[in-house]
Structure 1
Amino acid sequence: MDADGRNIRIIEWDDLDKRKFYTFGILMTMSIRATVYPAALIRTRLQVQKGKSIYKGTFDALLKIVRAEGIPGLYRGFLANSFTLISGQFYVTTYELVRRHVSTYSSNNAVKSLVAGGSASLVAQTITVPIDVISQHLMIQGKGSGEMGRFRLPQKVQERGCFHLGGTRAIIVQIIKVDGLRGFYRGYIASLLTYIPNSAVWWPFYHFYAEQLSNHVPAHCPHLLLQAIAGPLAAATANVVTNPMDVVRTRLQVEGGLSILETVRSLLDEEGAWGFAKGLSARIISSIPTAIVIVVGYETLKKLSLRAELIDSRCW
């Protein structure tokens, strides 16, 4: 147990070799995004469709997409989405720096995590939203996806495949023609209302669950195992809290035209309160492996990035 009573030692910003941290971090982030992208695509299509007009649920969507578009269909928009690697690095940097700053005012781990998580999302979403707007329009293109969204790719672009950048250029041109540059920030406020609470909730619950688990298992139980269990629990908690606004955000970014309140009213009129739960199962299902990969990857990343003089001097 460390000095402030925690059973799980947290590696802080000052403990890291920043060059190793960023090099390993980019590789880890790209691997995670490639793993979870199909679930994100399925969630987006479920949230955008009217009722159950095309897909009955998560697994039905998976089967129909694979049958109609093949495995590459699950990766529509992936090249455009990969630019979120930039926002990912800004996220972790902001999180660690704000956490360090808050520690000068409070030693409470939940407070540090909440403030740092919310701040990190604010910075990251400012970079991510334009990329999300483009990639989500690409996600809903496909043979079996019907007429979702406002923009359609030309047939010759569709035939070039999911990994061709022609689709990205076509969507960018259409957004600029219809909405101007402001179109790339459609749903920005909804994104902040989704991801700031999500991040602010995830980190405190992650540390809370990890510490509670550590109090109920044998002392020799690996910390990484406890963290790998705590991550999915925290993700499920955050997903339930933020899914209603995530549905609103997705609709705003893909369909356009409505304000947040108008989108909420429209969803209530069309599908009732259950409409705000659309895509929740896909989020939770994807959050389990995602959270495990993120937690194990991030904690391992920090261990690999320890400053040389600290590697053997402390027990992590």
Structure 2
Amino acid sequence: MPEPVLTVRVPERRPSGTMEDKRNIPIIEWEHLDKRKFYVLGVAMTMVIRVSVYPFTLIRTRLQVQKGKSLYHGTFDAFVKILRADGVTGLYRGFLVNTFTLISGQCYVTTYELTRKFVADYSQSNTVKSLVAGGSASLVAQSITVPIDVVSQHLMMQRKGDKMGRFQVHQGPQGQGLIAFGQTKDIIRQILRADGVRGFYRGYVASLLTYIPNSAVWWPFYHFYAG
């Protein structure tokens, strides 16, 4: 199936001197989507972006959690100190776990498109389809994202020296920390012992109240503008 072509019309100038903006932006539905390109290239592009911004996400999280300026005096100071203490890998603590949130992005778009297709059997209104699909997509995405974020943020707090977060990864032989997913398993066990399954959903309701209305309102406006 050939890819849909984006057609842009140049606004016509009326005799009165006014400009009329005529939009002709095609709405790409689920059946028009190239699934192979979406799932492969979409994940690859998101991963590249994630690699570039993750160190600053980690620094931001530590700056927000620390008491006053007990450890870092700012973004640059935190960047330098983390590099000196832990090297480049210190800027990517929890990164492997965090990459699983890429799944939520794919689930978001998949849920959105499939829900639009389902709602189309009951209503042809783009507003109705987008409102229901946008809210449903955020519900699914946040249900996946929140537990992963909770674990990865606890991993971000792991550092040599003083304890920053609620949990501390146990030390291996010769005082070395557990590597890779060994730390993840350790953090998961500690969360389960302390809070049970609910511990993985701290902030879940707040996330839903943030993202569901935003997504439910954003998509109808997008289709209104595109039309």
Tell me which interval the TM-score lies in, with the shorter structure as reference length: 0.7 to 0.9
Q: Which has the larger radius of gyration?
A: 2
Partner in structure 2 of residue 66 of structure 1: 83
Unaligned runs of 5+ in 2: 1-7, 10-20
Q: Distance in 2 between matches of 1:186 and 1:93?
A: 25
Unaligned runs of 5+ in 1: 212-316
Select the residue among 167, 182, 194 that pairs with 1:151.
167
1:117-136 counterparts in 2 under 5 A?
A: 117-136=134-153
Q: Distance in 2 between matches of 1:201 and 1:159?
A: 49
Partner in structure 1 of residue 200 of structure 2: 184
| Displacement after TM superposition at 1:166 (Å) | 1.0
Taking only the aligned residue pairs, the percentage that are identical comes to 68
Q: Give the alignment's TM-score, normalised by structure 2.
A: 0.73
CA contact (8 A) 2:93 2:155 kept: yes
Does residue 14 of the first structure (1) align with residue 31 of the second (2)? yes
| Displacement after TM superposition at 1:34 (Å) | 2.2
| Displacement after TM superposition at 1:49 (Å) | 2.0
**CA deviation map 1:239-280 (0-9, x unaligned):** xxxxxxxxxxxxxxxxxxxxxxxxxxxxxxxxxxxxxxxxxx
Q: Distance in 2 between matches of 1:191 and 1:44?
A: 17
Select the residue among 35, 44, 49 that pairs with 1:32.
49
Partner in structure 1 of residue 191 of structure 2: 175
CA contact (8 A) 2:97 2:148 kept: yes
| Displacement after TM superposition at 1:185 (Å) | 1.5
How large is the Cα RMSD of the aligned pairs? 3.2
Q: Give the alignment's TM-score, normalised by structure 1.
A: 0.55
Select the residue among 197, 209, 221 that pairs with 1:193.
209
1:246-257 counterparts in 2 under 5 A?
A: none
- Aligned residue type for 2:106: Q
CA contact (8 A) 1:29 1:88 kept: no
- Aligned residue type for 2:54: Y
| Displacement after TM superposition at 1:23 (Å) | 2.8
How many pairs does the alignment contain?
204
Select the residue among 56, 59, 64 that pairs with 1:42.
59
